[in-house]
Structure 1
Amino acid sequence: MTSAYAVGLEHTTASVNSAEPTIHVLRVTTIFRREDGEWKAVHHHGDDSAAEFGISTGRGLITPLFLGMVDGEE
């Protein structure tokens, strides 16, 4: 089985409980698996801890930080 992963930052604006929308930067990881010749996202996780590391908003919707691939057997 061949898998790949992407780690990055997602930039979004959200409103909670009818409050004013605020900008959030989420640290995210997405895991992909190759099935029947196609890449499929099988897991996505995000959290708002990017601010703890001094990461501020950027211009794009997604800022890639690291991409990798794992090739193994089923």
Structure 2
Amino acid sequence: MSAETPNLMSVAQLAEHYGRAKKTIQNKLTRGWGPVPVLDPDTGQVLGFRVEEVNRFDQRNQRTHKQYLYD
């Protein structure tokens, strides 16, 4: 791959960030929970998660539904 790989968090780092087991995070990710992963364009495998996307996901999910709609 010739393109430079951005600074990515692994699933293990994501699990540490949220204080959960790696397997728990993997299960949640397969159900659609979590930040958008960076995929390998050739294989479709998850390469990791951009730190900015993790922060955006955290910010979106800290507010209540009412705060999200009316703030």
Please classify the TM superposition score into its range, dividing by the shorter chain length. under 0.3
Q: TM-score by structure 1 length?
A: 0.25
Give the TM-score normalised by structure 2: 0.26
Which structure's residues are more often strand, by fraction? 1
The higher relative CO (CA closer than 8 Å, separation ≥ 6) is in 1
Comparing both structures, which one devotes a greater share of its residues to helix?
A: 2
Between structure 1 and structure 2, the one with the greater Rg is 1
